[in-house]
Amino acid sequence: MTTKTIFEQIIDGEIPTSKIYEDDKVIVINDIAPQAPVHYLIIPKKHFPNIQEINEADLGIIAHVYRIAQIIASEQNIHDYRIIVNNGKKAGQTVFHVHFHFLAGSFFEKLIP
């Protein structure tokens, strides 16, 4: 038996969380260690340990992630944001369930004059 990732436990309702958005393909939550004023995690419900495990048949889920980012940005009147994916331990991935960081807020003013 394999151990569930924290994201699988959240998706399965075993760990309570405040959801920003949820549908049959993804869940969106606040990051517990935010790196920006707005820092959400967009998590596919289907488990992929890393990007290399996503096959062609599942690419629609990735397109859906970006559509949900558009919807969230629109609903919250966010015009400038980043979407970041860490793939692999050396790239900063700490939970081995593919997820997308949605970052927005005043930190852009410091990064990009």
pLDDT digits (tens, 9 = 90+) for 22-41: 999 999 999 999 999 999 99
H/E stretch holding 110 reads helix 107-111
Residue 111 lies in a domain: no
- Domain with 30, as residue range(s), is 6-96
Q: The tokens 């369930």 sit on which residue?
A: 97
CATH classification of the domain holding 36: 3.30.428.10
- Does 99 participate in catalysis according to the annotation? yes
Q: Which of 39, 97, 99, 101 is catalytic?
A: 99
Residue 107 has pLDDT above 80, yes or no: no
Do 42 and 63 touch, CB atoms closer than 8 A?
Answer: no
The alpha helices in 12-56, defined as continuous H runs, are: none
**Predicted confidence (pLDDT) at residue 111 exceeds the cutoff of 70:** no
Asked whether residue 104 is assigned to any structural domain, the reply reads no
DSSP state of 58: G
Number of domains in the chain: 1
The reply to whether 23 falls in a domain is yes
Residue 90 lies in a domain: yes
